Structure 1
Amino acid sequence: MVIKAKENNVLLRPHFKTHQSAKVAEWFKEYGVECITVSSVKMAEYFANHGWKDITIAFPANILEWKEINTLANSINVNIVVESIESILFLESKLTSPVGVYIKVDTGYGRTGINADDFETILNLLKRLKNSKNLIFIGYLCHAGHTYNTSSIAEIEKINKLAKEQLLALKTFMASEFPLAEISFGDTPSCSILNDFSDYHELRPGNFVFYDLTQHSIGSCKLEDIAVALAVPVVAKHPKRNEIIVHGGAVHLSKDSLKDKDGNTYYGIAVKLNGNKWDVNKKIGTVVKVSQEHGIIKVEDHILKEVQIGDLIAILPIHSCLTANLMKEYQTTDGENISMMI
């Protein structure tokens, strides 16, 4: 990602909500990363306390946290995201330190943000920001999250092309009043698969630090690129159903799921675990059901004989961000424990 950003002459501002770890964050510094993205004020405080000085909170600003935002802005460069007049007016009346501001733009994901072609609403926000003392307008921020629902590189290219066209049209329309407005773009599928980001100012991928089965299904990574797995103990076997039961359910993996080529839902893929290392080429079975604590893995006859109660096996997660957040700690393949934000 660092190389790709340099080749496109854009800033890499990786999203740290995937790993949420000061130790993992240090690995990014080794590659020259100085600016980061987070998803909450609490997360911004955590990384600020660990030496990060340029942080974007890429989530619509929670105006109830204005005091915390103000405290952060007193000591670091902090950027927030807005999409309403109400938020701008409230924060303008409360903040006493300069805070960078992005307008959240929706280019088709449909989660939140102002529609990219709603120039009137965006212009009204810009008029308010132009006269603000402590809200410093930076540009437009977009997350093309609908790339996660694609099944081909062509679809990702189409989504990215449309997003770029919409954002550039918006920038051009407002250029006379805001000629220096920047474009902040981020999603791991686009940033992993595509190469041309020359029209953006910064990229904000996050999941790429670990990847997961969702990214593999999209084509963002190879199976062996997935850098986290959940170690779980086998607690029961049911030969008549060709199932093994593990202590690893929704509170560990979440209930995010994918569908296989036959349309069957699954919640992870179990592979063999040797010590602290797993082997993606030695598949044990598919997690076909999760309840709060239980995981049910469908296996073939020979696997049922090989796997014993008490064995530890590894599950590749559907969504590494959620699994990491639920577990709150890592152990490296070398046996080192790595803490996370609590």
Structure 2
Amino acid sequence: MKLIEPTLLLDKNKCLQNIKRMLKKANQHDVRLRPHFKTAQSWEVGRWYREQGVSGITVSSLKMAEYFAKDGWTDITVAFPVNILEIGRINQLAQQIRLNLLVMNVDSVLYLADHLKKGVDIYIDIDTGYHRTGLPADDYEHIDRILACIRASDKLHFRGFLTHDGHTYQVKGKEAVNKIYQQSVSLLHGLKQKYRPQWPELEVSLGDTPSCSLVEDLSGVDEIRPGNFVFYDLMQATIGSCTAEQIAVVMACPVVTKNEATNTVVIHGGAVHFSKDFLIDEEGKPYYGQMVLLTDEGWTEPVEGYLVALSQEHGTVQLPEDVAESVQVGSVLGVLPVHSCLTADVMGHYFTLEDEKIEMMPK
């Protein structure tokens, strides 16, 4: 493969191993894996899951649900609070697939009940500590009102309670992640015990890559919805969810100029390729990626070189002296992304190491 511009490379073998590892863990604890497809956003990668026996998926928008429904997925959860302005899309999808929607207010439920043409499944969004969306687990008055509206409608089926522990991204290590997971499972278990007499088939669903990667026993929930694990990234490695060797994507960026006095190079690779997500080093300085050296088989382990500044198209890389000596204008450096979901999204496609172009969902 001749690399002449910023290119997102995918190691298919690492990706498949990540999928198989998570599926094995789910199966060992009798938990359903409903992977979130917002990371890869690709029919091809989705088919790799299907080949392993996965039948239900998670997406972040109705548009993404439409995209994957066209490739044969028939059980799709949209893990974003329902947007009633998209009722046309909802009705069209509900005619084709088992559509699972997320709600957290009575107004949305009443609107769905009045405007749906075919039935959908409903999850209630529960806030277990992330404080982004969702009802507090002890807001029984609001939950009861939503459930009463669901029960009164022949178009709505209550499937259960759903949460996203995004606050695991703010801690490091197995112990800290496990503590958050156990707190969330306790809250979900309480809801399940309270409402199961009325709704005997209700399920609880939890999704975040740190928990699903680091918690040893996932049997406290009915399904898990991790997404980032398919590629992983530097953020996950910093949390402890993965090793650097399990990161399945790297950005290949041409070197366009070099400053020998400072051991820095400028690469063609900026915010429009990586996004502006960053991590903080031990000195309190931000960095946007870490260097690897590209090889015929893929790439090396990370080296002590970091992407320290970004503008729209430019990236500035600080290299150790020994690596800087070997890097010339016209070289191509590999950069492990901080957040692979956003990097993939802004790139729009990627190439396997076998030079197979994998298209993503159109914008």
Q: TM-score range by the shorter chain?
A: over 0.9
1:303 to 298, 323, 332: 323
> SS at 1:244's partner residue?
strand
Structure with greater contact order relative to length (CA < 8 Å, sep ≥ 6): 2
1:194 lines up with 2:218 in the alignment? no
> SS at 1:192's partner residue?
helix
> SS at 1:229's partner residue?
strand
Matches of 2:329 and 2:64, distance apart in 1:
39
Deviation readout 1:293-330 (Å, 9 max, x if unpaired) = 11111112232221011111111000000000010111
Matches of 1:204 and 1:13, distance apart in 2:
5
Inter-CA distance 223–262: structure 2 relative to 1 (3 Å threshold) = same
Tell me, yes or no, if the aligned pair for 1:284 and 1:299 is still in contact at 8 Å.
yes
**How far is the alpha carbon of 1:199 from its aligned partner?**
2.4
Tell me which moved more, 195-204 or 12-21.
195-204
Matches of 2:26 and 2:295, distance apart in 1:
36
1:237 lines up with 2:258 in the alignment? yes
1:80 lines up with 2:101 in the alignment? yes
Matches of 1:199 and 1:130, distance apart in 2:
26
Amino acid at match of 1:264: K
1:323 lines up with 2:343 in the alignment? yes
**How far is the alpha carbon of 1:274 from its aligned partner?**
2.3
Matches of 1:165 and 1:239, distance apart in 2:
56
Tell me which moved more, 15-24 or 230-239.
230-239
Matches of 1:247 and 1:122, distance apart in 2:
51
Q: Taking structure 2 as the reference length, what is the TM-score of the superposition? A: 0.92
Amino acid at match of 2:273: H
**How far is the alpha carbon of 1:186 from its aligned partner?**
0.8
Percent of counterpart pairs with the same letter? 48
Q: Which runs of 5+ in 1 are unaligned?
A: none
Amino acid at match of 1:290: L
**How far is the alpha carbon of 1:179 from its aligned partner?**
2.7
**How far is the alpha carbon of 1:262 from its aligned partner?**
2.7
Q: Which runs of 5+ in 2 are unaligned?
A: 1-21
**How far is the alpha carbon of 1:180 from its aligned partner?**
2.2
Tell me, yes or no, if the aligned pair for 1:119 and 1:170 is still in contact at 8 Å.
no
Amino acid at match of 2:346: L
1:30 to 38, 51, 55: 51
Aligned ranges 1:20-169 → 2 under 5 Å: 20-169=41-190
> SS at 1:177's partner residue?
coil
Inter-CA distance 254–276: structure 2 relative to 1 (3 Å threshold) = farther
Q: Taking structure 1 as the reference length, what is the TM-score of the superposition? A: 0.97
Root mean square deviation, CA, Å: 1.2
**How far is the alpha carbon of 1:247 from its aligned partner?**
0.9
